Amino acid sequence: MFASTALIASLLKTRSFSSDLRPQPLDDAPTAVGTPDLDAASTTSSSQTIIVDEDALIELKSKLANAHLINDLSDDTLARLVNANLATAYIAYGLSDLSFVYPGLPTGYLGESVEQWAAENIANVYGQNGKVAHMDTRAGALAAVHGALKSSPAAVSVLTSSQGLLTMIPNMHVLAQSKLPVVIHVGAHALDDDLELSPEVDSVLAARNTGFAFLASNNAQEAHDMALAAHIIAKSTSLPILHYFDGVKAAKEIEKVDLLPYAKVASIAANVAAVETSYTNAFDAVENILGQVGKAVGRDYHIFEYSGASDAETVIVTLGAGSQTVKQAVGQLATANRVGILSVRLCRPWSEAHFLNAIPKSAKRVIVLEQGDGLFAFNGPLFLDVAASFRFGEWTGAKPRIVTAQSTNYGNLRPAHLLQLLSETNNFVDLNSEQYTSLADEPALLDTASRAIFWEVAKTNTASHVSNILSKSLHVQTRIVEDSYRPGGAVVNSHLRFSKSTDVSAYAYEKASFIAVQDVALIKEYDVLASSTQKATVLLNGPWKNGDEIEPKLTNEFKLRATQLDIQLYTIDVASIAQNLALSNKSRNLIFETAYFLLNKNVVDASSSALAALYQEIDGSKKTAALVQEIFDAVKADLTKIDLLPPWTILEISDDVLPKIPADRAATNEDSALIPDESQGAATVGKWHQAAWDLIFKEAYESKTALRPDLHEDTFVVKCSENRRLTPDTYDRNVFHLEFDTGNSGLKYNLGDALGVHGLNDEQQVQRFLEWYGINGQDVIALPANEAGQRETRTIFQLFTQTLDIFGRPSKKFYESLADYTTDAKEREQLLFLISSEGKEEYKKRVDETTTYEDVLREFTSARPTVEQLATIIAPIKPRHYSIASSQKMFANSVHLLVVAVDWKTSTGEVRYGQCTRYLSDLKIGANVTVSIKPSVMKLPPLNTQPVIMAGLGTGMAPFRAFIQERSVLKASGVEVGPMMLYFGSRNRRNEYLYGEELEAYHAEGLLTHMGLAFSRDQKEKVYIQHKMQEDSRQLYEYLINEQAHFYLCGPTWPVPDVKDAVVYGLKQYGGMEERAASDLIEEWKEKERYILEVY
């Protein structure tokens, strides 16, 4: 939605703006000064739920946000665990009548909480409900803001990302020219092609000449303070202000921030008087307001902030970039190295005089830390400002040498890197180079903080809960990295840092003295001990109770490193504790949290009640506190210290270098409107991350996760719960019994229905084909899913395993289409011959030979259709149907099948397998299978007392098992049921008496009144079911003619005529009917569905 004038009007209409926009003194302010409920803002709607008691397992809902860790401190201090986004939004909402949100990500974007507060009618500092417009980012963005400011003198803020800002530049000029005091807050970030989030300040700096004043902040606390300053400056000077911060840190780092209560915000804003100033002379006004804000919040802010040695020879100038790291390092290195740091807080308008004033006169070298993608080469924006100041400003004495140090991302900069930087002699330093980006071991330079790391495979609130409790007594920072696109599932890596001092650390990744790994499989993928301190406590989740047991789960590298570091290795069996306490999967993080507190009593002695307080109270018999106490007891009992084994010290290790942290690929993205529109019609192939686009831009692409959207019937996912071979392993025929758990799939079936199974192609066979054809299976293909233009996105490997019948029989149309792609005239001719009438014989041979699509492609090698083209000329895999062998009356939650594996040999001796039976025979317990239901005429007679005569060969037994079960259930409930005759035929009793024991039992019990078993090869002469029927022809006649019996034949087609002859025989013999009349009567029964065939 692009906000129109009408939208603005409607937003403004609902708010009668005071004509006097000067902030009112607190005493005069409306009484209902609201404070957004940060807890509510940071929780998802689902987490408001009290308790879900699915499957009688206890699920505890966290009161905390996914990532925002909110303290329940009193409103006087409002010290909260928040990130810079939330801290900024809090002030922006408080001081705005109207906020425009141009989201940079689908969730977790700057301004998200503002939307929520507005929806909840939270009052801003003036006691009014803030209005919020959620905007699309398009070229010309900000026109709506201009309209709003023109039509009413409202306090307006804009919350956006770097990329959003790019589209606003033309209108920023317009706003600045009109002196309209909007405040734009920018989280500077971008997503790269691999969906990794990175800071992006090029776009921010591209807007530096628009006439906006530019304020930078460097952490969540500063973001809060600078947001406040920005709004006050805008109000006081009537200048438009842009406030920006590193959007990656903003989203990922959570720290304890002192938020000012809204009443205090109102009073500070009210006390700053309006000043007349021009943009170019605004420094003094800004400096003055920064001073006032600094005083009010208890921190020192200036337009240029210098710290370090007063006689510094080297001065590092930064604008946001790495300034925290540098500041901390400088704090330690300053005196010895005569170094200082100048942080630029206000970079537009730029004040030469203030800048030069802030630089010690002793400076011989100025190192400019430039942040950007290298677009500016040596002369970045900050370098130019610095150089111009020295060139044209009033600087007495020798001009210092100006050095540029440039990087795209200062996230990895460490104090050790700074020492290296100080030793550089060049005028240009590339901080993207290995020596400045490696997270190499370094001496603990700066602080005494403790750290903990949690490796988890599901996004839980572990880090939030632990931080929250620690934050009661310590200063806490949390950084969460999530790779949502890790093959095999997301991995979440949370770093917690806590110390007594309120110093904030800028280093993202440091060594920890506690490391917990939720899934030991991660040890093979990541170098989890790379972040371990000497003697760190390492907790692994699993049932192992000693070194011998756990040994096979660990890599040699881990074992060796563990011994070298002398780690304290512990295990905890989360699964068994959860099972014993009936704790749901989703609440297992509580066990980890508990284990953390039990193993870190030296850090904080947390009580179970403190942890319980972070969860919603359970509604029902069990109180949260009691449950958490039980968890504490259980964890205490289960925690096991594992002694490292002596042989671990002498293991051979590989040279493989595993990543120390996951890639930062959370399910986040850039503005949907900025994503190029993919072609809608044809299939398109892209890299794997394009699939992710579709998934993460759900709204933009209207993406839905669908189960086989290409199928038109209703499909269900059922779980294989049994796969049992019924014939002996030594027997050449594999007949097997399958059971599927229907669980919550909603699958309902009627007696006699067949189950449509959507089988997959064999993965190895697919892989072999793709490799031979030269296609990367991991590439993504987007295919049109329906006429409405929707597309379905998945990998090529998925396409060939799930959809395309590449190993099936090609139609003539395929040969014809393939001819179009040949580059060899002979091949084209041959393909066209095969589908002509002259080529009929040749074509038939191929069918008999069971030639597949793959065979044809391998034969006609000059035809190389692209994957998109293959996707349109190869038919989809068809579901195979199987008569359901169970009654839902007897098995409410499962469905059973009886299947015979199909295989054959081609003339060249190659063994081939039936597509679906191969898939089914290999099914593992727990595997998900997509199925559908096909209704059938195989129904029991209307009256339970009517006799049924069932004739089945081999797997033809399947529906009769269901019939027998159905009548068994009826009988057991006291219903009178009629006679049941069963004729079953197979090769021999020893190998193929399918469900023999069950049948014998039903027979013995009297439900099966008669069994005619025909094992053709058990005696010299072949005996088939028709022979058995003929023996009973009198009885059959009786039932069919006098008792309205229903007759059924199921299985292969070949006995159909012989079976009919057997029935005709009885009719002739005992009813005196003519052959013809008997035959007609059978036809009539067929019409009336009393003589039913299901043959295949």
Ligand X SMILES: Cc1cc2nc3c(=O)[nH]c(=O)nc-3n(C[C@H](O)[C@H](O)[C@H](O)COP(=O)(O)OP(=O)(O)OC[C@H]3O[C@@H](n4cnc5c(N)ncnc54)[C@H](O)[C@@H]3O)c2cc1C
Residues that bind ligand X (CB under 6 A): 754, 808-809, 847, 850-852, 880-883, 898-900, 902, 904, 914-917, 955, 958, 1094, 1096
CB of 236 or CB of 936, closer to ligand X:
936
Strand order of the sheet with strand 98-101? Answer: 131-134, 98-101, 156-161, 183-188, 241-246, 213-216, 346-348
CB 801 to ligand X: min, Å: 14
Of 1079, 717, 734, which is closest to residue 918 (Cα–Cα)?
734
CB of 500 or CB of 768, closer to ligand X:
768
CB 690 to ligand X: min, Å: 32
Q: Which is it for the CA torsion 428, 429, 431, 434, positive or negative?
A: positive
Which amino acid makes up residue 620?
G
CB 811 to ligand X: min, Å: 10
CB of 412 or CB of 886, closer to ligand X:
886
CB of 695 or CB of 711, closer to ligand X:
711
CB of 101 or CB of 916, closer to ligand X:
916
Cβ 71 vs Cβ 129: under 8 Å: no
CB of 801 or CB of 955, closer to ligand X:
955
CB of 780 or CB of 982, closer to ligand X:
982
CB of 66 or CB of 734, closer to ligand X:
734
Write the CB contacts of 904 (distance below 8 Å, at least 6 apart in sequence): 850, 911, 912
CB of 754 or CB of 1045, closer to ligand X:
754
Cβ 882 vs Cβ 795: under 8 Å: no
Task: Report residue 470 as tokens.
Answer: 């620690």
Tell me the backbone φ, ψ of residue 595, rounded to 5 degrees: -60, -40
64/43 Cα distance (integer angstroms): 6
Strands 241-246 and 213-216: parallel
Of 566, 461, 559, 555, which is closest to residue 513 (Cα–Cα)?
566
CB 1025 to ligand X: min, Å: 17
End-to-end Cα, the chain, rounded Å: 56
CB 1087 to ligand X: min, Å: 20
Q: Which is it for the CA torsion 507, 509, 515, 516, positive or negative?
A: positive
452/510 Cα distance (integer angstroms): 9
760/768 Cα distance (integer angstroms): 15
CB of 615 or CB of 984, closer to ligand X:
984
CB 710 to ligand X: min, Å: 18
CB of 796 or CB of 916, closer to ligand X:
916
Bridge partners of residue 725, in order along the sequence: 736
Task: Report residue 416 as tokens.
Answer: 């050790």
CB 665 to ligand X: min, Å: 39
CB 830 to ligand X: min, Å: 18
Cβ 71 vs Cβ 79: under 8 Å: yes
Of 902, 924, 896, which is closest to residue 915 (Cα–Cα)?
902
Shortest-Cβ-distance residue relative to ligand X: 914
CB of 806 or CB of 1040, closer to ligand X:
806
CB of 248 or CB of 877, closer to ligand X:
877
CB 738 to ligand X: min, Å: 10
CB of 176 or CB of 1025, closer to ligand X:
1025
Write the CB contacts of 790 (distance below 8 Å, at least 6 apart in sequence): 702, 709, 784
Phi-psi domain of 437 (left: phi exceeds 0; alpha: psi -120 through 50; beta: other): alpha
98/128 Cα distance (integer angstroms): 10
CB 81 to ligand X: min, Å: 57
Bridge partners of residue 582, in order along the sequence: none
144/886 Cα distance (integer angstroms): 64
Beta strands in 392-550 (DSSP E): 401-407, 428-430, 450-456, 475-483, 491-499, 512-517, 532-541
CB of 419 or CB of 1093, closer to ligand X:
1093
CB 957 to ligand X: min, Å: 8
Q: What is the CA radius of gyration of the chain?
A: 37
CB 900 to ligand X: min, Å: 4
CA distances from 1095 to 35, 785, 1013, 1052, 1053 (A): 72, 34, 19, 5, 5
Q: What is the DSSP string of 264-323?
A: HHHHHHHHSPP----GGGTHHHHHHHHHHHHHHHT----SEEEEE-TT-SEEEEESSTTH
Which amino acid makes up residue 586?
K
CB 901 to ligand X: min, Å: 7
CB 677 to ligand X: min, Å: 39
CB of 39 or CB of 762, closer to ligand X:
762
- The 8-class DSSP code of residue 848 comes to H
CB 1052 to ligand X: min, Å: 9
CB 853 to ligand X: min, Å: 8
